[in-house]
Structure 1
Amino acid sequence: MFGLLGSGNLGNDGSLEALLGYLRAARPDAVVDALCGGPEAVSARFGIPATRLHWYRGEYRTASRAGAVVGKGIGKLVDAVRTAAWVRRHDVVIVPGMGVLEATLPLRPWGFPYALFLLCASGRLTRTPVALVGVGAARIGSRPVRTLVRWSARLAAHRSYRDDLSREAMRAMGVDTSRDAVHPDLAFALPAPPAGPPSDVVCVGVMAFHGGNDDRARAEEIHRRYLDGTVRFVRALVAEGRPVRLLTGDGVDAAVVETILGAVDSPLVSAAETASLADLMKETAAAGAVVATRYHNLICALRAGTPTLALTYAAKSGALMDRMGLAAYCHPADEVDAERLLARFRELEKNAPDLRRVLAERNLAAARELDAHFTALTMALFPAEVS
């Protein structure tokens, strides 16, 4: 397994959990380990050996001093050797889900795009199949990032995507996608909690949102607008006597939670402590409705069957809502207007009984599609054992 796993992003770890569940059912004899961002966390939670993704420990800190710049530069050379040596020890390397072929959030070419390119190039050189399973992709403006992502995809032995937009994005970037499959996000393979009793609680999933990779020049403006609109929305709910439960999906979101708690200052607002997608699903299953920004906050709410309104920051969010029959309930994250958001939220609650029925049907369909894909994946990755 390869990726930014164990680094605090619950969605990434949820994708790993889903793939491990598949592997343990399809290949219980498989010996599994990981090259990842947070090896200690992955080993502790999933019980598999794990190796640090980067040789240089300060890889994701800003290099403001000469020593740090040199360290990063040396690290890039060392990582090329480390990655190739790690890949050649394996029969198959799987990248489990995640948005590894997109740049919908700020991203530098020499960070994860370079690491993914090293992985896929090493796989081709050592004849070890690298499988990108259920990944997200999007058209990329930055030429260096786009080049690394395109070549990573071309060098991979197997590709599948979590939505049609991702496959189309890779086709538009020059990758032959004619044999690439599309299926629901891997998180839909995780078990959903039972639905809770009727509730007035509203879960609001927040995010340290600063726009996308092409929005760096106005990142702070976008963040202030997002935060101000979200605070106003939460205040409006509290004024109606509604309990609000704040959710996150990554450790970096904690500061947003603290800001909202301080700004609203009401006992009706509380913050959930979540360490996994299962925790997020339990929170959303116990709510009457959800408003969420992070992609995997949306997935958890939809998987739990709870009527959900999406604050969308990328096309993937809209595609997910459309797949689940809730395309009408989207609002742009970079232009959060509290009054418009509240009006759309009231419409969501008005139609909640019908939306719950739609979500139940779409969840069953998603589970069937993933079962079929896992069967095809077994045929692709382990043909000798299947035959």
Structure 2
Amino acid sequence: MFGLLGSGNLGNDGSLEAVLGRLREEHPDAAVGALCGGPATVSARYGIPATRLHWNRAEYRTASRTGAVAAKGLGKLVDAFRTAAWVRRHDVVIVPGMGVLEATLPLRPWGFPYSLFLLCASGRLFGTRVALVSVGAAAIGSRPTRTLVRWSARLAAYRSYRDTLSRDAMRAMGVDTARDEVYPDLAFALPAPPPGTRDGTVCVGVMDFHGSDDDRARADGIHRRYLDGTTRFVRALAEDGRPVRLLTGDACDAPVAAAIRDAAGSPLVTVAGADSLAGLMREAAAADAVVATRYHNLVCALRAGTPTLALSYAAKSDALMDRMGLGAYCHPAREADADRLLEQFRELEKHAPELRRALAQANETAARQLDDQFTALTTALFPAAPARQENP
């Protein structure tokens, strides 16, 4: 298993959990390990050996001093050999879900895109099958990032996407997608929680949102507008007597949730302590409605069958809402307008019973499609002939 796993992003870890669960059911003798961002967390939570993705422990810190810059440069060279050695010891490497082929959030080419390229190139070199499973992709403006992403996809032995937009984006970037399929996000393979006792609570998923990779010059302004609009929306709900639970999906979202709670100034506004997708789903299942920004907050709410409004920051959110029958309930995160958001929210609640029925049907369809995904994955990655016998 490969990716930014165990690093605080609940969506990434949920995708890992979904694939691990199916692997353990269908291939109980498989020896599973991980090359990931948070090896200690992955080992403790999932019981598999894990190796740190980067040799340089300061990989994600800004390097300004000469020594730190040199360490980063050396780390890139060392990582090429470390990744190759790790890949060579495995028969199959799965990249479980995640937006690994997109740059909808700020991203540097020498960060994860470089790591993904090393993985896929090593797989091709050593005959290890690399699978990009139900991943997200999007058009990328930066030429270096686009080049690394394109070649990573070309070198992978198997590709599937979590929406049609992703497949179209890779085709536009020059990847032959004729044999690539589209399936739902892997989190829809996780068990749905039982419905909670609803008491009027609204879950609001918040995010440390600064725009996309192409918005770096105006990132601060985008963040201020998003924070102001979301805060005013939450305050209005509390003034109407509605309990509000603030949800996060990544460690970096916690300060945003705390700032909104403090600015709302009401005991009705609290921050949920969910530390997994299962926890987020339980929160969503107990709510009357969900308004969320981060992609996997939306996934959790929809999987729980709760009427959901998307504060959409990328086309993938709109595509997900369309797929689940809630395309009319999207609001641009870059232009968070509390008044308009309240109007859409009231419309959402007015149609809540029919939306719950539609979501139940959409979830059944997603589950069947993911069964097909895992069947296709088994056929592609685990041929009947015995694999070579090497220690993982």
- In structure 1, what is the equivalent of residue 373 of structure 2? 373
**What is the DSSP-based 3-state SS (H/G/I as helix, E as strand, rest coil) of the residue aligned with 2:160?**
strand
Q: How far apart are residue 372 of structure 1 and its match?
A: 1.1
Give the paired residue count.
386
Return 364-373 or 196-205, whichever deviates more.
196-205
Matched, 1:160 2:160: yes
- In structure 2, what is the equivalent of residue 290 of structure 1? 290
Matched, 1:228 2:196: no
Query: Could you list the per-position Cα deviations for residues 25-46 of structure 1 after superposition, in whole angstroms to 9, with x for gaps in the alignment?
Result: 1111000000000000000000
Q: Partners in 2 of 1:14 and 1:368 — Cα distance?
A: 19
Q: Partners in 2 of 1:81 and 1:197 — Cα distance?
A: 53
Q: Partners in 2 of 1:320 and 1:295 — Cα distance?
A: 9
Q: How far apart are residue 195 of structure 1 and its match?
A: 1.0
Q: Partners in 2 of 1:187 and 1:105 — Cα distance?
A: 20
**What is the DSSP-based 3-state SS (H/G/I as helix, E as strand, rest coil) of the residue aligned with 1:188?**
helix
Q: How far apart are residue 77 of structure 1 and its match?
A: 0.4
Divergent runs of 4+, >4 A: none
RMSD between superposed Cα atoms in Å: 0.8
**What is the DSSP-based 3-state SS (H/G/I as helix, E as strand, rest coil) of the residue aligned with 1:209?**
coil
- In structure 2, what is the equivalent of residue 41 of structure 1? 41
Q: Partners in 2 of 1:137 and 1:123 — Cα distance?
A: 20
Q: Partners in 2 of 1:196 and 1:186 — Cα distance?
A: 23
Q: Partners in 2 of 1:130 and 1:238 — Cα distance?
A: 48
**What is the DSSP-based 3-state SS (H/G/I as helix, E as strand, rest coil) of the residue aligned with 1:35?**
strand
Query: Could you list the per-position Cα deviations for residues 214-261 of structure 1 after superposition, in whole angstroms to 9, with x for gaps in the alignment?
Result: 000000000000000001001110111000000000000011011111
Q: How far apart are residue 199 of structure 1 and its match?
A: 2.6
Q: Partners in 2 of 1:258 and 1:328 — Cα distance?
A: 30
**What is the DSSP-based 3-state SS (H/G/I as helix, E as strand, rest coil) of the residue aligned with 1:384?**
coil
Q: How does 1:338-377 map to 2 (within 5 A)?
A: 338-377=338-377
Q: Partners in 1 of 2:371 and 2:200 — Cα distance?
A: 35
- In structure 1, what is the equivalent of residue 175 of structure 2? 175
Return 188-197 or 292-301, whichever deviates more.
188-197
Q: Partners in 1 of 2:118 and 2:235 — Cα distance?
A: 47
Q: Which amino acid letter does the alignment assign opposite residue 156 of structure 1?
A: A
Q: Which amino acid letter does the alignment assign opposite residue 25 of structure 2?
A: A
Q: Partners in 2 of 1:27 and 1:134 — Cα distance?
A: 20
Matched, 1:65 2:50: no
- In structure 1, what is the equivalent of residue 390 of structure 2? none
Q: Which amino acid letter does the alignment assign opposite residue 356 of structure 1?
A: R
- In structure 1, what is the equivalent of residue 146 of structure 2? 146
Q: Partners in 1 of 2:373 and 2:77 — Cα distance?
A: 37
Please, which runs of 5 or more residues in structure 2 have no aligned partner?
A: 387-392
- In structure 1, what is the equivalent of residue 389 of structure 2? none
Q: Partners in 1 of 2:36 and 2:238 — Cα distance?
A: 41
- Report the CA distance shift for 1:225/1:37 in structure 2 as closer, same or farther (over 3 A): same
- In structure 2, what is the equivalent of residue 262 of structure 1? 262
Q: How does 1:191-202 map to 2 (within 5 A)?
A: 191-202=191-202
Scaled by the length of structure 2, what TM-score is found?
Answer: 0.98
Q: How far apart are residue 117 of structure 1 and its match?
A: 0.3
- In structure 2, what is the equivalent of residue 121 of structure 1? 121
**What is the DSSP-based 3-state SS (H/G/I as helix, E as strand, rest coil) of the residue aligned with 1:102?**
coil
Q: Partners in 2 of 1:351 and 1:278 — Cα distance?
A: 26
Q: Partners in 1 of 2:155 and 2:243 — Cα distance?
A: 50
Q: How far apart are residue 385 of structure 1 and its match?
A: 5.6
Q: Partners in 1 of 2:237 and 2:31 — Cα distance?
A: 50
**What is the DSSP-based 3-state SS (H/G/I as helix, E as strand, rest coil) of the residue aligned with 2:227?**
helix
Q: Partners in 2 of 1:110 and 1:318 — Cα distance?
A: 29
Q: Which amino acid letter does the alignment assign opposite residue 103 of structure 2?
A: A
Q: How does 1:285-324 map to 2 (within 5 A)?
A: 285-324=285-324
**What is the DSSP-based 3-state SS (H/G/I as helix, E as strand, rest coil) of the residue aligned with 2:384?**
helix
Query: Could you list the per-position Cα deviations for residues 2-54 of structure 1 after superposition, in whole angstroms to 9, with x for gaps in the alignment?
Result: 00000000000000000001111111100000000000000000000000000
**What is the DSSP-based 3-state SS (H/G/I as helix, E as strand, rest coil) of the residue aligned with 1:383?**
coil
Query: Could you list the per-position Cα deviations for residues 279-326 of structure 1 after superposition, in whole angstroms to 9, with x for gaps in the alignment?
Result: 000000000000000000000000000000000000000000000000
Q: How far apart are residue 198 of structure 1 and its match?
A: 3.3
- In structure 2, what is the equivalent of residue 246 of structure 1? 246
Q: Partners in 2 of 1:199 and 1:127 — Cα distance?
A: 55
- In structure 2, what is the equivalent of residue 334 of structure 1? 334
Q: How far apart are residue 197 of structure 1 and its match?
A: 2.7
